Amino acid sequence: MPKKLEIAKTAALEAGNIVLDHSSNIQIDYKETQNLVTQADLAAEKQILEILKNHYPDHAYLCEETAHDTDVLSDHLWIIDPLDGTNNFANGIPQFSISIAYAEQGEVLCGVVYDPNRRELFSAIKGKGARLNDRAISASKKTSLDQSIVSTGFYYDRGTIMEKTLNTVHALFKRNIRGLRRMGSAALDLVWVACSRYDAFFEYKLSPWDFAAGILIIKEAGGVCHNIDGAAMTLQSKGIICAAPQLIDQFLSVAKWNDG
């Protein structure tokens, strides 16, 4: 596994450089009105695939831009978001990341999330803890919601999911949370829970490439992830509720979406 992690790190660092190189000349296309893709997304994905396929030509690949239907239960699967936070990137907001995970039959075994603006590389190997660059990280020790900074995200939906997210935000403020953030890169939201910058995060609709690396990094940092209905988090989950270990029950009681 260390070899796979090293290759994933190399791919993430190279993709980060590509994305930064594109930041002076951003070319935007639209998948849907609110859902963009830029030349940087495509170039970063191409580079990541080239590096990984050079080492693992027989593995399966699930990538946001060019191969999004691959089975998440494949025997040997790489799950890639080449640029998480495209809306930020396209608007010149320096909050975006590259996420790469490796999974076997639905179980994530290693993962990296790279923030090229801060040069922060988050990583984990199953059973071996989580790291930010060279230092071990852990989820926060907070014990109550009124001490907590919570992060969320909005999918491109402008209907039920948006309304449920706003209702939960309202309910969290009623529980007197210390603050709420919406930074725009789910992969970074997750690893910021892992290193205790955030105490909790929820987003009701995400894809495996947004969270595959992040959920391993959170677990290895001692945090807890659930599906939005409170069930176990898997690569087939459609969204996430995660928090520091002593907060997760309180957080679920407010954020859980029973019929989500």
- Give me the residues that bind ligand IPD (CB under 6 A), please: 64, 81, 84-87, 153-155, 184-186, 203, 206, 210
Nearest one of 28, 23, 54 to 39, comparing CA atoms: 28
C-beta of 34: minimal distance to Ca ion in Å? Answer: 13
Which of 98, 125 has the CB closer to ligand IPD?
98
Q: For the segment 82-101, give every residue that binds Ca ion (CB under 5 A).
A: 83-84
Residue whose beta carbon is closest to ligand IPD: 153
C-beta of 146: minimal distance to Ca ion in Å? Answer: 31
Q: Walk across the sheet containing 130-132 and list its strands.
A: 60-63, 77-84, 97-104, 107-115, 120-125, 130-132, 135-137
Which of 84, 247 has the CB closer to Ca ion?
84
Should residue 210 be labelled a site residue for Ca ion when binding is judged by CB under 5 A?
Answer: yes
Q: Are 210 and 84 in contact (CB under 8 A)?
A: yes
Which of 199, 210 has the CB closer to Ca ion?
210
Match 């608007």 to its residue by tokens. 91
154 makes contact, choosing from ligand IPD, Ca ion, none, with CB < 5 to 8 Å by partner type, with ligand IPD
Which of 89, 257 has the CB closer to Ca ion?
89
C-beta of 143: minimal distance to ligand IPD in Å? Answer: 27
Which of 74, 87 has the CB closer to ligand IPD?
87
What three-state secondary structure class fits 232?
A: strand
Extract the tokens encoding 184: 């725009």
What three-state secondary structure class fits 249?
A: helix
Residue whose beta carbon is closest to Ca ion: 84
C-beta of 203: minimal distance to ligand IPD in Å? Answer: 6
C-beta of 93: minimal distance to ligand IPD in Å? Answer: 11
Q: Which stretch binds Ca ion (CB under 5 A): 27-35, 77-85, 158-166, 230-238?
A: 77-85
Q: Are 254 and 145 in contact (CB under 8 A)?
A: yes
Q: For the segment 14-73, give every residue that binds Ca ion (CB under 5 A).
A: 64
What amino acid occupies position 45? Answer: E
Nearest one of 120, 256, 140 to 187, comparing CA atoms: 120
d(CA 75, CA 89): 33
Q: Which stretch binds Ca ion (CB under 5 A): 146-154, 206-214, 216-224, 236-244?
A: 206-214
Phi, psi of 209 (to 5 degrees): -70, -25
Which of 70, 138 has the CB closer to Ca ion?
70
Extract the tokens encoding 245: 């270990």
Q: Are 65 and 43 in contact (CB under 8 A)?
A: no
C-beta of 69: minimal distance to ligand IPD in Å? Answer: 17
Distance (Å) of CA 1 to CA 113, 124, 151: 16, 10, 31
- Sites of contact with Ca ion (CB under 5 A): 64, 81, 83-84, 210
